[in-house]
Amino acid sequence: MIRVKGIIWEDFVNYKKPCMTIEMPMCDFKCDRECGQKVCQNSSLAIAETLAVDEEYLIQQYIHNPITEAVCFQGLEPFDTFEDMLTIIKELALYNCNDDIVIYTGYTRDEIKEELIDKIKKAAVGRVIIKWGRFIPDEEHHFDDVLGVTLVSPNQYAEEI
């Protein structure tokens, strides 16, 4: 069982390909702390019920969905429940699923240990894309070519690892 706040089975907003979005259950609210005010666009998830979901059920639903082509982790902070995220990535690999894995994190590249990145790369069969950077309110939005979507802060960017 993994812990989640929610699942969007068919998401067309967070990536250029239709994806299943898994809303992760924890965050240390670093964006709020650094801004000195509550700015988290996902803060409502913090008070939502945390659900236990069978990873095999989740994978079966994903694999048998003819629409989705990627799995997106976001919601609160995927790296704060790293093992649950890695479990799903490993399960997808067991099915030789080479669909894209997209991770939305508020951490910067320098804040994540290289050993965690290596674990993800080793576990994944397909491409892995990480969106880095905290939300900063009232900044200029910009289009990110890697994700194919508009990001809300200029310090945010995505890269394939």
Q: Is 96 left (phi over 0), alpha (psi -120 to 50) or beta?
A: left
Q: What tokens appear for 151 in the block? A: 């990001």
Q: What is the pLDDT of residues 26-70, one digit of tens each?
A: 777 666 666 666 766 776 777 889 999 999 999 999 999 999 999
Q: What b/e readout covers 69-92, taking b as 16+ CB neighbours within 10 angstroms?
A: ebbbbbbbbbbbbbebbbbbbbbb
CB atoms under 10 Å from CB of 6, counted, come to: 16
CA–CA separation, 57 and 143 (whole Å):
34
CA–CA separation, 45 and 28 (whole Å):
13
| Mean pLDDT within 129-158 | 92
Q: Report pTM.
A: 0.92
Domain ranges of the chain: 2-160
pLDDT for 109 beyond 70:
yes
Q: Do residues 126 and 100 lie in contact, with contact meaning Cβ atoms separated by under 8 Å? A: yes
Q: Where are the beta strands (DSSP E) in 43-136?
A: 51-53, 70-74, 100-104, 128-132
